[in-house]
Structure formats: structure tokens, C-alpha cells
């Protein structure tokens, strides 16, 4: 009797699975994982002979599995129940923080990146342009006391020390971020710092330039959204994760912003169309563009060589300069020093978060 029931149950499960897999339409993109999903395998005869069919079919079935997100969540919850305090390279830290692990990096790549910055510095100094470097520690470093007990965590300050030893002019933001570690300076569900975190870094930047930053109250504050769940959330798909708030700070509501040599020109630092989607952080300066020019009410021209950490930072510097240029080395092709000379740049800032800088291969192309 029991065996009969087991047979019915198992065949029922298989049948339901097959039916759901056939009936449910295939999706192109996963919002929660922020990536394209594998599609029905279309292989050439050669690829089939090479045995590619097995992997591509498995990827297809897993990616297009009905209610995939639900299954991933089920796994995450099971892992947490069984004592795990990390998932997919993300720590479940205190106070609802989901923090990217930083436990290893390629020393070779990091050294190469630092070397190429040193070279760039030399090239720029020939045109009389000063260059500063701001390598920002991530939440794993600044909020390390929130990590699970005994959790392995590599010291990011060691990387900073190394950079300093190579003769780069470092703007150290670690101390000021640490001072304010009790405030909302990192998103709970994303690997970025918040606009508030960027403001404190701006204070350090002003100090490094022998100036004093105005108090935050001098900027107009606007809450862009309060339902943000970012990249670390996407990695764990944990339904009980908190929602983050994205704040904007600006002195003038409009700035002329020109992307990629005028391919797209707009009047705001914020691309608000992203606020309705699932990647709200992209609202800052239209996600990641190869080159961006912002007009402001100050003097001089600042060039920032950057990753997405700079997108919130620029809110504060925009009106210190007549123009702020941003270059993302992942998409920009060409010589940075030549760009600086041609555009009359007066100072350069390199702004990356440390783990990203250590692993980003495109940095070594900067010269």
C-alpha cells in the first residue's frame, strides 16, 4: 500500500515538474539575479559531438526552472537553518546587513594596478596635473564588528598601506568612515556605500585639499526610494532581508550631464527611470558609462577615474568645479593622460572601492 502511494507521489512530482517546465514561458532576464538567463540550447553538430549538450541543457533547465527564485530562497533558508552564516560569498551580518566577503585577492593584479596608477601619475605630472587616489574600504572592513563571529575577513588597510608605499597620493577615508560606522553609511543589501558614506569621504577629500567641507545641511536632501534591494540581496535571495533607502543630496536641481561624448545629454545627476526598476542604484549618473561630463558652478576641471562608488561621491563635488569628468576604465578605450591634457583637466582623482580595484583588470590599462 505504502509503495503504491510512494509511486503515485513520485510520478506526480515528476509529472508536475515536467509540465510546469513545458508550460511556463522562458524568461530572458532574471531581475533578482541581475543577469541574462540561459536559453534553450541551440548547438551546432560539432558542439553536440564535443558533449556540450549536457552542460547547456542543465544550465537551461536550472535557469528556466519554474519559480526559480522560490527554489533559491528555499535553499538559502535551509542553509541558514543548518547553521551557515554566509551564502554565495555574502555574510549574514548583524542588524540585517548582507556583506560581501573579502577573503582573498590576486596580489599580482593588485600590484599591476597600483603600478599603472604610478605610471599614470607620472604622465599627468608632466602636464602639471596633480593626481590623488581614494581607495574606499567596503562594509566588510568598516563594519567588521557586525560580521558573524570568527568570520574570515581580510584586512583592506593592508592594501592601502601598500598603495601608499608605492608613492601614490592617497586620500585615506578609512578613519572618517570608521568614526561614523554607527551611521547609515553602507547599504544593508548592496555592496555600495550610501550617499552619506560618500559625504564623509568628501569631507576627507576636502581636508586633503586643505579645504573644509560645508555641513551636509547645505545640500538639499531628497529620498529617491525606500524599497531598494541591491547586489548582496540578489546573491542570497533572502526574503527577510531589509529594504534600503536611497538618498540624494544636491545644491542645484539641474546640472548639464553629457554621456559618452554627447551621445546622451540630460539635465540631472539622477536618471530617475531606474527608480521604478530593480536596479535603483543605477539612478546615480545613469548606471555605468564610459565617459561622463558634468557642468557645475565652481572652478577648474576635475577628472575622476572611477567605479560606481564615485557615482554618489560626485553629488558633493559637482559644484566645486566648472566641469567634472568621469571615466570608467572598463568601457573607456584610450589614454587617460591624453584625455586630461586635451580637455584642460586641472586635477585627477582615482576613486574605487578596494576589493573592486584589486580585481579590476581594466585599471592596468590606464596610462
Partner 1 sequence: MVFSSLTFLLGFLPLVLIVYFAAPKSLKNTILFIFSLLFYAWGEPVYVGLMIFSTLLDYTCGRVAEKYRGKRPAKAALIVSLCANLGLLGLFKYADFLIGTVNGIFGASIPLLDLPLPVGISFYTFQTMSYTIDVYRGEIKAQKNIISFGAYVALFPQLIAGPIVRYQTIAEQIDSRTHSVDRFGKGVKRFVCGLGKKVLLANNIGLLWSTISTADPAALSTVSAWLGIIAFAFQIYFDFSGYSDMAIGLGTIFGFDFCENFNYPYISKSVTEFWRRWHISMGTWFRDYVYIPLGGNRRGFVIQLRNIAVVWLLTGFWHGASWNYVLWGVFYGVILIVEKLFLLKKLEKLPSAVQHIYALLCVAVGWVLFAFENIGKGVKFLGTMFGVGAGFCDDSALYQLTSYAPLLVICAFASLPAAKKIAAKIGGKLAAKPGKIGNALAGTALLFGVAAVTLLSTAYLVSGSYNPFLYFRF
Which of residues 72 and 136 has its CB atom nearest to partner 1 in the complex?
Answer: 72
Span 145-184, contacts to partner 1 by CB under 8 A:
148-152
Q: Is 263 in the site for partner 1 (CB under 8 A)?
A: no
Which of residues 13 and 265 has its CB atom nearest to partner 1 in the complex?
Answer: 13
CA angle 293, 213, 285 (to 5 degrees): 25
Q: Is 83 in the site for partner 1 (CB under 8 A)?
A: yes
Contact window for partner 1 (CB under 8 A) among 55-63, 120-128, 138-146, 247-255? 55-63
Q: Is 86 in the site for partner 1 (CB under 8 A)?
A: yes
Q: Shortest Cβ distance from residue 230 to partner 1 (Å)? A: 19
CB 181 within 8 A of CB 143: yes
Instruction: Map residue 335 onto helix, strand or coil.
Output: coil
Q: Is 265 in the site for partner 1 (CB under 8 A)?
A: no
CB 203 within 8 A of CB 316: no
Q: Shortest Cβ distance from residue 242 to partner 1 (Å)? A: 22
Instruction: Map residue 111 onto helix, strand or coil.
Output: helix
**What span, in angstroms and rounded, lies between the C-alpha atoms of 212 and 216?**
12
Span 8-47, contacts to partner 1 by CB under 8 A:
9-11, 13-15, 17-18, 21
Q: Shortest Cβ distance from residue 67 to partner 1 (Å)? A: 9
Q: Is 94 in the site for partner 1 (CB under 8 A)?
A: no
Q: Is 57 in the site for partner 1 (CB under 8 A)?
A: yes
**What span, in angstroms and rounded, lies between the C-alpha atoms of 295 and 320?**
10
**What span, in angstroms and rounded, lies between the C-alpha atoms of 113 and 105?**
12
Q: Is 62 in the site for partner 1 (CB under 8 A)?
A: yes
**What span, in angstroms and rounded, lies between the C-alpha atoms of 236 and 244?**
16
Instruction: Map residue 170 onto helix, strand or coil.
Output: strand
# of chain residues touching partner 1 (CB under 8 A): 44
Which of residues 78 and 207 has its CB atom nearest to partner 1 in the complex?
Answer: 78
Which of residues 13 and 220 has its CB atom nearest to partner 1 in the complex?
Answer: 13
Instruction: Map residue 234 onto helix, strand or coil.
Output: helix
Residue 311: in which H helix or E strand, if any? helix 310-317
Candidate list 82, 126, 210, 217; residue touching partner 1; CB under 8 A:
82
**What span, in angstroms and rounded, lies between the C-alpha atoms of 35 and 262?**
28
**What span, in angstroms and rounded, lies between the C-alpha atoms of 293 and 143?**
33
Which positions touch partner 1 (CB under 8 A)?
A: 1-7, 9-11, 13-15, 17-18, 21, 48-51, 53-54, 57-58, 61-62, 65, 68, 71-72, 74-76, 78, 82-86, 148-152
Amino acid at each position: 500500500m505504502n509503495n503504491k502511494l510512494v509511486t503515485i507521489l513520485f510520478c506526480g512530482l515528476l509529472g508536475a515538474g515536467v509540465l510546469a517546465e513545458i508550460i511556463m514561458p522562458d524568461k530572458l532576464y532574471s531581475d533578482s539575479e541581475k543577469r541574462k538567463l540561459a536559453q534553450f540550447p541551440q548547438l551546432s553538430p560539432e558542439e553536440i559531438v564535443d558533449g556540450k549538450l549536457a552542460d547547456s541543457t542543465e544550465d537551461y533547465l536550472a535557469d528556466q526552472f519554474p519559480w526559480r527564485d522560490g527554489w533559491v530562497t528555499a535553499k538559502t533558508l535551509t542553509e541558514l537553518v543548518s547553521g551557515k552564516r554566509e551564502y554565495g560569498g555574502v555574510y549574514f551580518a548583524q542588524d540585517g546587513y548582507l556583506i560581501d566577503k573579502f577573503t582573498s585577492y590576486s596580489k599580482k593584479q593588485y600590484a599591476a594596478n597600483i603600478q599603472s596608477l604610478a605610471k599614470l601619475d607620472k604622465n599627468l605630472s608632466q602636464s602639471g596635473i596633480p593626481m590623488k587616489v581614494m581607495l574606499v574600504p567596503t562594509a566588510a572592513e568598516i563594519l567588521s564588528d557586525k560580521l558573524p563571529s570568527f568570520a574570515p575577513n581580510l584586512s583592506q588597510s593592508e592594501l592601502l598601506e601598500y598603495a601608499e608605499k608605492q608613492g601614490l597620493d592617497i586620500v585615506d577615508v578609512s578613519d572618517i568612515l570608521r568614526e561614523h560606522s554607527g551611521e547609515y553609511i553602507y547599504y544593508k543589501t548592496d555592496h555600495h556605500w550610501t550617499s552619506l558614506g560618500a559625504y564623509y569621504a568628501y569631507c576627507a577629500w576636502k581636508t586633503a585639499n586643505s579645504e573644509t567641507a560645508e555641513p551636509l545641511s547645505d545640500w538639499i536632501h531628497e529620498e529617491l526610494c525606500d524599497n531598494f534591494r541591491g547586489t548582496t540581496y540578489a546573491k542570497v535571495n533572502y526574503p527577510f532581508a531589509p529594504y534600503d533607502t536611497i538618498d540624494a543630496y544636491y545644491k542645484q536641481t539641474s546640472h548639464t550631464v553629457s554621456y559618452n561624448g554627447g551621445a546622451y545629454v540630460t539635465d540631472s545627476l539622477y536618471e530617475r527611470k531606474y527608480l521604478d526598476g530593480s536596479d535603483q542604484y543605477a539612478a546615480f549618473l545613469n548606471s555605468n558609462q564610459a565617459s561622463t561630463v558634468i557642468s557645475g558652478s565652481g572652478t577648474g576641471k576635475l577628472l575622476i577615474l572611477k567605479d560606481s562608488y564615485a557615482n554618489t561621491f560626485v553629488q558633493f563635488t559637482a559644484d566645486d568645479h566648472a566641469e567634472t569628468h568621469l571615466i570608467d576604465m572598463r568601457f573607456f578605450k584610450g589614454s587617460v593622460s591624453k584625455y586630461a591634457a586635451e580637455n584642460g583637466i586641472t586635477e585627477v582623482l582615482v576613486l574605487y572601492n578596494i576589493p573592486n580595484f584589486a580585481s579590476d583588470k581594466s585599471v592596468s590599462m590606464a596610462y
